[in-house]
Amino acid sequence: MGKRNNKRYSLVIIIVGLVIVFTSLAICSFSIRNNLEKEMEDTLRDVAVQNVVAINDEIYVQYKLLLGFASEIQEHPEREKEIVQNMTAFVESYGFKRMGYAHGDGMAHTTDGYNADVSDRNFFQQSMEGKVWITAAQEEQFAQTGGAINVFSLPVYGGDGEEPTGVIFATYDNEIFQDMLDIDFFNKQGSSCIIKTDGDIIALSNNSPMQGETNFLTHLMAEQVASASKKKSSELVQKMRSAMASGKSGIERCEEAHEAGHAFIFYYTPINENIYGGQWYMIAAVPETVLAQRTAPVMRNVRIFAGFMFVVALVGVSFYLYIERKRKDELVSLAYEDTLTGGYNFACFRESSKTRTGLAGYVVAMDLAEFKLVNSSFGVQKGDETLLELWKILREDVSDTEMVARVNADRFVLFLKAESKEELEERLDRLIERIEEIPQRLKIPALFPVFGVYYAQSLDEPDKYYGFAVQAKQLIKGRRDRHYAFYEEIDYKRVLEEKEMENSFSKAIEDEEFEIWYQPKFSAQEGEAIGAEALVRWRKSNGSMLSPGRFIPLFERNGSIAALDEYIFRKVCAQQKAWLEKGYEVLPVSVNISRVSLYFGDIVENYEKIMADCGLDSKYIQLEITESATVDNTDIAGLIERFHKAGFIMLLDDFGSGYSSLASLNTLHFDTLKLDKSLIDFIGDESGEKLLEHITKLGQSLGLHITAEGVETENQLVFLKTLCCDDIQGYYFSKPLSMEEYGKNIINVEARQMFG
């Protein structure tokens, strides 16, 4: 949960960071655009003002000239022709086309010799009303030279000076204005013009897009504009009219002039000289695209930077998510991967079960009997190799809808599907076969796989079902006759019984419920008692007696066996001592030591001390160790040596049952070989007898004393005699006897003589 919060927290930081970067970029580009726009407006204003000053200067000079001639005519109306003649000298130097004078009736004559009626001309009418006037650009009338002209006119007053008596005028090429307006700004993209307050165009700069048009306000209202912007345009025109009526300056944006996409920004300012008829306005304009052009490089950089930031952020976030993902995967694999096999572990089995609920199948718990011994005698590396081989076999056998996982050590869990119990058994048999091939490859002792099986209708509770499978496996633990057991086989009466036995063990030791029975051994040739084996019995407080087969495997599983073996050993020692003291002819008694007990504490030192405390000579006690214990050769060989040093005779028990390791006979220095009952039972069968013969010979050649166990018939005895077997233990001579019987009948010399 904490990790997830962290992750969310970092993501929020990244997102907030990105938002901050992008907003500042947006603000930055907005302000850049604003500044550029401002700069553009300033330039427009500067250009307009500059033009106004230039125009004013020019016109003022001309005005003075015209005014001079006007007052001359006023003073000397009779010299009018001569004065017009005089004007000729100024025409060129003032840049005029011509100058002239018109009488009150409209008859005019000019410096270039034209005589014409101008009474219908606008400039004449205006100036006759007393106005100083400059016309808008218009066609030339006198000489059809083409090109637009402007006419500058002034009233000339009579002697009384009250009513104009004529008009003095100068015509000049509109180009003069144009040249004046031709200031280069914004790379020739900026243009200017002079208009009257009614919008009539007086002059346009050469590069003005309004060439051929006569009215600026009409231009703003151009017909082609879309209907939506028409309204805007008419509002703009309205605004301009009222601004110009009150002599204001200002900046405006014309969204859609003339043609779509031709938007422009313009500055308008009055040319504030009262010499002309009415106010004029100077307009400096620039297409909106210029602003875009100017902002473009900056904006491009901003965009590149933003793109770069975005990519950096994207890469950052992706990298972060990748790392995060990888970390999670690692955690998952740590949690779900078995470190040894690289396959699934139980946690993973549990998780995967969730996706398989509703599936019926067999949950199988598996391990190898005595696997510990592989580790302890061949090293952990060999043990690991064994497990890896085992894993390979299991994994190969398991299909996609099935599962296999390692639980720990040599424990595995499988989920297998089969149509029937028989089919599953066949499958397990095949698996067992393959597993039993491992030892040959790895040169280790035989492996004995054990399986517990639970059939689950649905895999909804994997832990529980695995537990059931393990319980089933416990049924055959320690047994070497079966490889698998099913949960249904669990005998609950037995389970409860075992629980009860486990719980009452300590009390039973205290209450001396464990009795020792003695099965005498006899010499094969003479049939004389030569010793006995001590066998434990559990007499319960209710009077019933349990044979060791009922409780020894349980105590071997829970470890109580060490205490029990020690107890029996102690008791046997004490009893031997007691019989010695009674003067009985005490024979050596062999005591069983479970292979499990061998791993508890220092058993040699312990047993030696017990015997010394008892004051008993070691010749009266022998020790029996089962053959399977010898699997772990290195430890056992040392133990046997030490037991020998302590004076004990060592017997190799159950030789020939299950696992026979002839090689161990040579390496482990036992004194006596006890042939298991299963070998004795071969007697009567030819090849069995051969085997028995060979084993006996081998033992004898190694100098071992041979004892035959479980001899029940005379036939067996006869055959064993021919093999020169030393001792016989079995029902043929005697069943195990109670301590009293044994003492009384076997080793009490007098009694024995009677008994014999």
Binding site for ligand C2E (CB under 6 A): 519, 535-536, 547-549, 552, 561, 565, 568, 592-594, 624, 653-654, 677, 709-712, 729-731, 736
The least CB distance from residue 622 to ligand C2E, in Å, is 12
Q: Which of residues 693-712 bind Ca ion (CB under 5 A)?
A: 709
Interaction residues for Ca ion, span 4-33 (CB under 5 A): none
Cα–Cα dist 1/56, whole Å: 81
Binding site partner of 233, from ligand C2E, Ca ion, none, Cβ cut-off 5-8 A by kind? none
By C-alpha distance, which of 693, 717, 705 is closest to 624?
Answer: 705
The residues, ordered by sequence, that sit 6+ positions from 576 with a Cβ below 8 Å of its Cβ are 586, 589, 616, 620, 621
Q: Which is nearer to ligand C2E, 476 or 625 (CB)?
A: 625
Which residue from 654, 704, 716, 717 is in contact with Ca ion, where contact means CB under 5 A?
A: 654
Minimal distance, residue 595 CB to ligand C2E, in Å? 9
Judged by DSSP in three states, 85 sits in: helix
Q: Restricting to residues 616-645, which ones interact with Ca ion according to CB under 5 A?
A: 624
| Residue (190 or 710) nearer to ligand C2E, CB | 710
Q: Which stretch binds Ca ion (CB under 5 A): 114-122, 647-655, 680-688, 716-724?
A: 647-655
Nearer to ligand C2E, 548 or 588 (CB): 548
Shortest distance (Å) from residue 596 CB to ligand C2E: 8
Residue 566: name its binding partner from ligand C2E, Ca ion, none (Cβ under 5 to 8 Å by kind). none
Return d(Cα 598, Cα 653) in angstroms, integer.
14
Structural tokens at position 101: 């004078």
Query: Strands, DSSP E only, in 42-114?
Result: 96-103, 107-110
Q: Which stretch binds Ca ion (CB under 5 A): 298-306, 354-362, 610-618, 653-661?
A: 653-661
Reported residue count of the chain is: 756
The least CB distance from residue 366 to ligand C2E, in Å, is 27
**Residue 407 parent element (H or E):** strand 403-408
- Between CA 243 and CA 246 the distance in angstroms is 5
Of Ca ion, ligand C2E, none, which one does residue 594 interact with (CB within 5 to 8 Å by kind)? ligand C2E
> Helix, strand or coil for residue 651?
strand
Which entry of ligand C2E, Ca ion, none binds 736, CB below 5 to 8 A by partner kind? ligand C2E
Q: Which is nearer to ligand C2E, 709 or 727 (CB)?
A: 709
State residue 89 phi and psi, 5-degree precision: -65, -25
Residues 532-561 that bind Ca ion (CB under 5 A): none
Q: Closer to ligand C2E at the Cβ: 33 or 705?
A: 705
> Which residues touch 416 (CB under 8 Å, ≥6 apart)?
361, 362, 364, 398, 402, 424, 427
Binding site partner of 254, from Ca ion, ligand C2E, none, Cβ cut-off 5-8 A by kind: none
Query: Which is nearer to ligand C2E, 205 or 664 (by Cβ)?
Result: 664
Q: Which is nearer to ligand C2E, 552 or 639 (CB)?
A: 552
Q: Which residues pair with 251 in a beta bridge?
A: 267
Q: Which is nearer to ligand C2E, 278 or 688 (CB)?
A: 688
* Contact region with Ca ion (CB under 5 A), list: 104-112, 255-263, 500-508, 586-594: 586-594
* Residue among 99 and 629 whose Cβ is closer to Ca ion: 629
Query: CB-based contacts of 709: which residues, under 8 Å, 6+ apart?
Result: 654, 674, 675, 676, 677, 680, 729, 730
C-alpha angle with apex 581: 577 to 582, nearest 5 degrees? Answer: 115
Number of residues binding to Ca ion, judged by CB under 5 A: 5
375 in contact with Ca ion (CB under 5 A): no
Position 727 contacts Ca ion (CB under 5 A)? no
* Tokens read off for 112: 């270039």
**Nearest distance from residue 638's CB to Ca ion, in Å?**
22
Contact 332, 344 (CB under 8 A): no
Q: What are the tokens at 256?
A: 């859609």
What residue 212 binds from ligand C2E, Ca ion, none (CB within 5 to 8 A, per partner kind)?
none
What residue 568 binds from ligand C2E, Ca ion, none (CB within 5 to 8 A, per partner kind)? ligand C2E
The Cα–Cα gap between 568 and 236 comes to: 121
CB atoms inside a 10 Å sphere around CB 720? 24
Are 309 and 21 within 8 A, CB to CB? Answer: yes
Is residue 653 within the footprint of Ca ion (CB under 5 A)?
yes
- Report, in Å, the least distance between residue 538 CB and ligand C2E: 10
Residue in 526, 525, 502, 505 with CA at minimum distance from that of residue 514:
505
Provide the residue type at 535 as one letter: L
The sign of the dihedral angle between the CA atoms of 132, 138, 141, 143 is positive
Nearer to ligand C2E, 51 or 672 (CB): 672
Q: How many CB atoms are located within 10 Å of the residue 429 CB? A: 12
- In the complex with ligand C2E, which residue's Cβ is closer, 256 or 653? 653
Measured from the CB atom, the residue of 10 and 547 that comes closer to Ca ion is 547
Could you tell which of ligand C2E, Ca ion, none binds residue 710, using a CB distance below 5 to 8 A set by kind? ligand C2E
Grouping H, G, I as helix, E, B as strand and the rest as coil, residue 48 is helix
Closest to 397 in 3D by CA, of 408, 375, 412, 385: 412
| 592 near Ca ion, judged by CB under 5 A | yes
CB of 653 to Ca ion, least distance (A): 4
Q: Residue 158 to residues 71, 106, 161, 206: CA-CA distances in angstroms?
A: 10, 15, 5, 41
**Looking up tokens 């090849």, which residue turns up?**
687
731 binds, among Ca ion, ligand C2E, none (CB under 5 to 8 A by kind): ligand C2E
Return phi, psi of residue 251, to 5°.
-120, 140
Which one of ligand C2E, Ca ion, none is in contact with 549 (Cβ closer than 5 to 8 A by kind)? ligand C2E
Which of left, alpha, beta for 395 (phi over 0: left; psi -120 to 50: alpha)? Answer: alpha
Q: Among residues 110 and 519, whose Cβ is nearest to ligand C2E?
A: 519
- Return the structure tokens found at 209: 């897009």
Q: Which does 498 bind (CB under 5 to 8 A by kind): ligand C2E, Ca ion, none?
A: none
Which one of Ca ion, ligand C2E, none is in contact with 712 (Cβ closer than 5 to 8 A by kind)? ligand C2E
Sign of the alpha-carbon torsion through 344, 350, 354, 357? positive
The stretch among 229-237, 311-319, 581-589, 650-658 that binds Ca ion (CB under 5 A) is: 650-658
Pick 485 or 683: Cβ nearer Ca ion: 683
Q: Which does 206 bind (CB under 5 to 8 A by kind): Ca ion, ligand C2E, none?
A: none
Stretch that binds Ca ion, among 309-317, 547-555, 588-596, 741-749 (CB under 5 A): 588-596
CA distance 52 to 426: 112
Site residues (CB under 5 A) for Ca ion?
Answer: 592, 624, 653-654, 709
